[in-house]
Amino acid sequence: MKRKPILDIRIEANGPALHMKGENAEVDMIPFKGTVESELFTGIVEPCGVDTQIVNAVHIRHMSARYLLTGRDSAGAEAHIYVENNGWFDDLTKTMPFHTVPTFYTDSAVLAPYLHSSRFEGEGVMEEDGLHIYFYEIGGHGDE
């Protein structure tokens, strides 16, 4: 049974990435923007998003993306969702899809009870129109 994502975020590059190579790690900071489509929220990824990726000496890639969504919530009100999305994978295998753990903060009165108390997972999938980050609910607050 295919799960339905709570958010579908299509990522677009927003300028050149910054790169640093040190003695024990490589760091990339990748600016991005995008669009959001779902029953829960529709809008844009503000063009100030950044995905910081650190590859350590044993080839583990830690990704930490932070970005702000601006648009309308399911009740039609103007709203924002701040996303902090973290993931890890072995850089030598570059597994797709990759999986992440998101945290959400919102100013939407209708979305706050849901986004602030449930647990979610993310999945990054390369599709014909680019990279999509899908977020899925994996349980409510207090569920085991």
pLDDT in tens, 28-55: 999 999 999 999 999 999 999 999 999 9
What tokens appear for 1 in the block?
A: 């049974």
Quote the distance between the C-alpha of residue 2 and its chain's center: 20
Question: Taking 50 as the threshold, does the pLDDT of residue 7 lie above it?
Answer: yes
pLDDT digits (tens, 9 = 90+) for 53-96: 999 999 899 999 999 999 999 999 999 999 999 998 887 777 77
Domains in the chain with CATH codes? 7-140 (2.40.160.20)
What's the pTM value of the predicted model, to 2 decimals?
0.91
pLDDT tens for each residue of 108-140 = 999 999 999 999 999 999 999 999 999 999 965
Alpha carbon 136 to its chain centroid, in Å, reads 11
